[in-house]
Amino acid sequence: MADLTKDRVLQILKSRTIVAKSGKYVVKVTSVHLHEDKYIVNINAMNLLQAKAAREAYSNDELEAAANSNLSFSVFEGQTAPSKGEFINIQIGIVETRTDGQQLRVIGWSEQPIAAPVSFDFESADVDVLVEEASEFAAIK
């Protein structure tokens, strides 16, 4: 990352979701790049070990190391991979790593459903019907 300042790195780190336990999360894809036969998908989240390492790197003015502390996962070439800027669902679970023992990592992902916009004529009675349906839906939640 070119021209990193402490303020910019702090902004990046504060935007990250801290993953402290297994579960499902919605996160933003920060970058996707092809490496050998798979896509590396970086996301706007980090586990507690990564957060600790990022804080230490930041304190030591190792700004690139701090900014690059995040969770990622691989998608094999030929499979669907998310795009940069896309929000996705991830499943976090405990994984045995080669160097750090058991850690929280991404064990699955899926696309975030997108609601289709509704268009209508403001001069027709459709507006009243849509408002009524939206009110009923909101009451259900």
Domain ranges of the chain: 6-113
Q: What distance in Å separates the CA atoms of residue 51 and residue 13, rounded to the nearest whole number?
A: 8
pLDDT of res. 141: 40
The pTM for the full model equals: 0.76
Q: What distance in Å separates the CA atoms of residue 61 and residue 81, rounded to the nearest whole number?
A: 33
Tell me the per-residue pLDDT of 27-79, one tens digit each, with 9 for 90 and over. 999 999 999 999 999 999 999 999 999 999 999 999 999 999 999 999 998 89
The 10 Å Cβ neighbour count of residue 131 is 10
Tell me the per-residue pLDDT of 75-121, one tens digit each, with 9 for 90 and over. 998 899 999 999 999 999 999 989 888 999 999 999 987 776 666 56
CATH number of 6-113: 2.40.50
Element holding 71 (H helix, E strand): none
Q: What distance in Å separates the CA atoms of residue 123 and residue 126, rounded to the nearest whole number?
A: 8
Instruction: Label residue 140 by pLDDT band (50, 70, 90).
Output: very low
